Amino acid sequence: MPRDASELARRLAREAEAVCRHYLSNGKREGRYWLVGDVQNTPGRSLFVRLYESPKGPAGKWTEYVAPRVMLRICDWGLSHGRLAASTQHNASALREVA
């Protein structure tokens, strides 16, 4: 049994692919990554889990990709409802340039 969270994290990272196969079974391996829709195990390709340590980071690190157009819609909704701070308004402007 692991003694602390860091030991548990190391053990999970060593078995990243097995963990993904079990908990993210609707995904699949592509090269050095496991791809699935999201952390709720939805089929898709938006969530990337690194299976092996690399110069980009440790095994087990995950990233969920949200397309700039989707973020722009979220920001526009927040702006129209007065729910975003000034810094977010600036970021929404930057997203418009990308999308």
Task: Tell me the mean pLDDT per 10 residues along the chain, length 99.
Answer: 80 93 96 92 91 92 72 61 50 47
How many whole angstroms separate alpha carbon 60 and alpha carbon 49?
6
pLDDT of res. 78: 60
Contact 48, 63 (CB under 8 A): yes
pLDDT at residue number 15: 94
pLDDT at 49: 93
Question: Cα separations (Å) of 69 from 35, 48, 98?
Answer: 21, 19, 8
Task: Specify the pLDDT at position 73.
Answer: 63
| pLDDT of amino acid 3 | 75
38 lies in the same domain as 15: yes
Give the pLDDT confidence score for residue 98 in this predicted structure: 44
Range of the structural domain that residue 44 is part of:
5-64
Domain match, 50 and 80 both: no
Do 38 and 13 share a structural domain? yes
Same domain (yes/no): 51, 35: yes
